[in-house]
Amino acid sequence: MDQELRSQIAVWLKDFGVESQASGWLSLSTSVLISLVIALVSYIVVRRVVVKAMNIVIQKSKVTWDDVFMRHKVLEKFALLIPVIVLNLLLPIALTTHPVIASLVDRLLSVSIVVLMISSIYVVLDAFNEIADVKLISRRLPIKSFVQLFKLFLFIVGIILVVSVIAEQSPLYFLSGLGVLTGLIMLVFRDTILGFVAGIQLAANRMVSPGDWIEMPKYGADGVVEEVSLTTVKVRNWDNTITMIPAYALVSDAFKNWRGMSESGGRRIKRSVSLDVQSVRFLKPDDLQRLKRFKLLQGYLEEKAAELELVNAQFTEEDLTLNGRWFTNIGTFRAYLVAYLKQHEQIHQNMTLLVRQLAPTSQGVGIEIYIFSKDTRWVQYEDIQADIFDHIFAILPEFDLRMYQQPSGADMRQWLEKS
């Protein structure tokens, strides 16, 4: 729409009896109205035809990531740009006879284009962040931190572009003045800058990702990482409380990450039982006969008996009692536990499997179990651990062993009654 079109509109209006001064304003209004109608029609065509057709294609496609874009209404956001761009092209031409108004309208529409473009890109970034969460990419990289950083960058760029449009100056003019504001930016965005640097270190070293179980007693954190943002790490503790940890704190302070345990497929069980030292003794022949009933012990008893017979053959009957080697109930109990754990379906056989005797203390002599369960989930892990030690507590009397337990008030009363 140019000067010739407006002149032609004025001629048409004059033919209908409209005065020349009035026809000028009417031709101007008609030009503006036509521009608005064209912009509205272009928006309706894009929104009702193009966007609707593309959404139908997205719904019928087999991939799932494009559904995220449709749910975030990305196409609808970009469709808003079409009428504004059309108006930005037509209105300044329609208002050439009024340069001041044309300049103001042009600036206003240019600012609107910048704002709509940045908001549309924001929606695209949010969609990418959701896709990363669905595809579990965010467990390897802090995608949300990068998204937030890019949004911050776009925000600063948007402000510079808006100011440059309003002031009719080149954006480079304002960029050259940012060096003066560096100190202020460092002060205002201190946590953001520290968080971004920490986020890069966390990502490069794979120190923490969403889904990791971490412990950080300094901040009261013991649970699963739900979110790694630009400045904070969100942890949902096992009691369902939320702990927010500064991202840079994970780099500067110590914390424990249980991801290695989860990825290895085995979770450690390290627990001991304390036995009463006074219950430890040599096994008698009838004890051995009784213990042969256990299938788990038959191989050990036969092999150990042959070894002891070979060793004791070098001693006379007089020296055998003092110098010979014999079965003990605690040693046979340890052999039973090893055999029991090796045939346990829930114990990881390719990882460390150890039953060891601890140094005796005033609390008795400890037998420690050091194994790894196949199931790393907390509830299942606790069930496996409890089942194993339930069996240990129940089987101790078969070896004539007693658990050590400090005397209670009831024990003291029984002793007093007996005395």
pLDDT by residue for the chain (419 residues), tens digit each? 444 544 554 455 445 444 444 445 666 677 778 778 888 888 888 888 888 888 888 777 777 777 777 788 888 888 888 888 888 777 776 676 677 777 788 788 888 888 888 888 888 888 887 777 766 555 556 677 677 778 877 887 888 788 887 877 776 666 665 555 566 666 666 766 777 777 667 766 777 878 888 999 988 899 998 887 767 888 999 888 999 988 888 888 888 888 877 777 788 899 999 999 999 999 888 988 999 889 999 888 988 888 888 887 777 666 666 677 888 999 999 999 999 999 999 999 988 999 999 999 888 999 999 999 998 888 899 999 999 999 999 999 999 999 988 777 676 777 777 66
Closest CA to 349 of 244, 405, 242, 265: 265
Name the nearest CA neighbour of 275 among 355, 354, 366.
366
Please check whether residue 381 is in contact with residue 371, taking contact to mean a CB–CB distance below 8 angstroms: no
CA distance 384 to 264: 18
Reported as type and span, the H/E element at residue 223 is strand 221-228
Amino acid at 370: Y
Tokens of 124: 């695209």
Question: What stretch of H or E contains 137?
Answer: none
Q: What is the pTM of this model?
A: 0.53
